[in-house]
Amino acid sequence: MKFFAVLAFCVVGAIAGPLSSDEAALVKSSWDQVKHNEVDILYAVFKAYPDIQAKFPQFVGKDLDSIKDGREFATHATRIVSFLSEVVTLSGNESNLAAVHTLVTKLGKDHKARGVTKSQFTNFRTALVSYLSSHVSWGENVAAAWNHALDNTMAIAFKQLDD
């Protein structure tokens, strides 16, 4: 059976291995349904986890509802969501796996330098999955594909982050 790896791989250690082509297709098609909802996605993350918002010098201590329509918020939302889009797109092709690994490793290193922890990444993941589950065609198969993809991605980032 042919495998397409999505959002990372098995070379990072004790993880489940690459996604099947079916899982890869489910991740891509569901992401396509929300990848232009940048502000909405960042809003959902900050709303669920204010300590994540508090790590941003430009947003700390500010009322979420009053910053969400601002230019800075849109800029950062676009950075995060574009990063995820890039990873999803690259991961559709096995030959890009090294590039995905490099990107996610750099993300982990850069965030460690900002004092971001593994548990904050895990909370980001929870908020993202919660957002997806209520904004895309969701079902057990889509949930399983995202879980697999995010397990793989987090395993790469976690190598750089502290608890």
Minimum separation from the CB atom of position 1 to ligand HEM (A): 29
* Out of 76, 112, 135, 159, the residue judged to bind ligand HEM by CB under 6 A: 76
CB-nearer residue toward ligand HEM: 21 or 147: 147
Q: What is the largest CA-CA distance in the chain?
A: 51
- 146 CB-contact burial (10 Å; exposed 0-12 / middle 13-18 / buried 19+): buried
Task: Decide: is 77 part of the binding site for ligand HEM (CB under 6 A).
Answer: no
* Out of 10, 74, 80, 136, the residue judged to bind ligand HEM by CB under 6 A: 80
End-to-end, the C-alpha distance of the chain in Å comes to 37
Q: How far apart are CA 97 and CA 35, in angstroms?
A: 21
CB-nearer residue toward ligand HEM: 85 or 133: 85
Residue 19: DSSP 8-state: P
Residues in contact with ligand HEM by the rule CB under 6 A: 52, 55-56, 76, 79-80, 83-84, 107, 110-111, 114, 116, 120-121, 124
